[in-house]
Amino acid sequence: MAWWDRERYWHLVRPDAVEAIHNETFRSALRWYYSVLLEGYPAKFVIARSIPVEADISRASLEELWDLHRALAREFESRWREVREEGTRYSEFVQRYGSASPSFVTLKAEIARRIIRRCCFCERRCGVDRASGAIGACRVDGRTYVHSWFLHLGEEAPLVPSGTIFYGGCNFACVYCQNWDISQVSPREGAVVDARRLALIQKELASRGARNINHVGGDPIPNTHTVLESLEYLDVNIAQLWNSNFYMTPETMELLIHVMDIWLPDFKYGNDECAKRLSGVDRYVETVVRNLRVATEWGDMIIRHLVLPNHVECCTKPVLKMIADNLPRDRVLVNIMDQYRPEHRAYSYRDIARRPRPRELEEAYSYADSLGLLWRDISR
Ligand code: SF4
């Protein structure tokens, strides 16, 4: 089936995605996402954009911008609560509050633009001036490179069809990366896209039937500034999804929590040694757990864990245990992924140079069961 037919007949390609709308576990765990998707509640960026900024932010220092951000965050919380309690629909909300310019979203984009001058979007904290063309560990400068965008039919059932945008560059260096071309080898060969163009791409995806806008890569983290600015121009109501390795700094989390409706984090490793050896990052566990805790307070979540061969004891089990111990089990869906295959440089690492065995997957599933995690239906 050609891609345009697949898009048109997505319900035939993924009948489970049609069924997902009626799945009580999904409806309950992803309550906010479904409120935007099915009930027509305003997505969080619409609420954030309704809050005016009454200051000249171009002249303010970064410290002053953060002070203002903290003040407006309180107003956001109040309006978001009101929407959920009153069941306010998008058109009613816009009629009541309108869309401000400059707004809380403008302020976020301004802070993000300042941050890339000494980049600390992720815990690598390179400190390079990406606005002047310097390249960080993520292999991209301050421009945003989009490699492709389309309706993704391979994501988790509640998300399909997912309006997915693949950005170049990644702050990780996974030796087994499945998207190694855009993340590590040729990240700057995509189309350079500014915020207005990115908003148009999102609008086009929405018009083709996307249930959400799925920011992925590579990783979206190095592109936080463009994503935030695009939300100033986006004039359709659609849920925003952050599909990431979750290695953001607290500053980046602070910018994202008021505009992302659903989180799709990869929780890869159960210890820092495996993270360092296979992805080249430090302080992995504390960073990801910290961000997961924050994100569960600010939207719905499906956590992905890719089962690596020979890593069930050191990674899969500790990851599942940390989810059970640190996050609300009734609100977090866990996708235990079985599709690992050696790619990129994986054949140089003996432990991960094969696919996981059925016995390893079964062990992961039964351990998730023993912890009471919500993983059935969502894992394929
Ligand atoms: S996004 Fe992360 S890896 Fe990239 S320059 Fe910024 S701090 Fe470095």
User: Is residue 348 situated within a structural domain?
Assistant: no
Those residues whose C-beta lies under 8 Å from the C-beta of residue 240, and which sit 6 or more positions away, are 43, 44, 45, 212, 213, 215, 231, 259, 260, 261, 262
- 333 in any annotated domain: no
Pocket probe for ligand 1: among 115, 128, 172, 249, the residue whose CB has the most ligand atoms within 8 Å is 128
Ligand 1: which atom is nearest the Cα of residue 222?
1
Does 142 contact ligand 1 (Cβ within 6 A)? Answer: no
Cα 241 from Cα 168, distance rounded (Å): 17
Report d(CA 203, CA 225) in Å as an integer: 19
> Is residue 243 domain-resident?
yes
0.85 surpassed by pTM:
yes
In ligand 1, which atom is closest to the CA atom of 127? 7
128 lines ligand 1 (CB under 6 A): yes
Q: Whose CA is nearest to atom 1 of ligand 1?
A: 222
Q: Verify whether ligand 1 is closer than 6 Å to residue 124 (CB atom).
A: yes
In a domain, 307, yes or no: no
Output the CA 136–ligand 1 centroid distance in Å: 5
Q: Is 222 in the pocket of ligand 1 (CB under 6 A)?
A: yes
Q: Which atom of ligand 1 is nearest to the CA of 125?
A: 7
Question: Distance (Å, rounded) from C-alpha 38 to C-alpha 24?
Answer: 14
Q: What CATH number corresponds to the domain at position 45?
A: 3.20.20
Q: Out of 124, 221, 228, give the residue to mutate to test ligand 1, the one with the largest number of ligand atoms within 8 Å of its CB.
A: 124
**Is 139 inside any structural domain?**
yes
Report the domain count for the chain. 1
Nearest ligand 1 atom, CA 124 = 7
Q: Which domain holds residue 101?
A: 3-300
* Rounded Cα gap, residues 189 and 286, in angstroms: 33
Q: Which atom of ligand 1 is nearest to the CA of 128?
A: 5
Task: Confirm whether 267 is domain-assigned.
Answer: yes
**Ligand 1 proximity of 116 Cβ (cutoff 6 Å):** no
Domain assignment present for 16: yes
Tens-digit pLDDT string for the chain (380 aa): 666 678 888 889 899 999 999 999 999 999 999 999 999 999 999 999 999 999 999 999 999 999 999 999 999 999 999 999 999 999 999 999 999 999 999 999 999 999 999 999 999 999 999 999 999 999 999 999 999 999 999 999 999 999 999 999 999 999 999 988 899 988 999 999 999 999 999 999 999 999 999 999 999 999 999 999 999 999 999 999 999 999 999 999 999 999 999 999 999 999 999 999 999 999 999 999 999 999 999 999 999 999 999 999 999 999 999 999 999 999 999 999 999 999 999 999 999 999 999 999 999 999 999 999 999 889 86
pLDDT value of residue 380 = 66
In a domain, 118, yes or no: yes
pLDDT number for residue 150: 95
Contact assessment for residue 108 and residue 48, using Cβ atoms and an 8 Å cutoff: yes
Instruction: Decide if 270 contacts 317 (C-beta within 8 A).
Output: yes
Which of 117, 120, 219 has most ligand 1 atoms within 8 Å of its beta carbon, as the pocket-test mutant? 120
Cβ 121 vs Cβ 242: under 8 Å? no
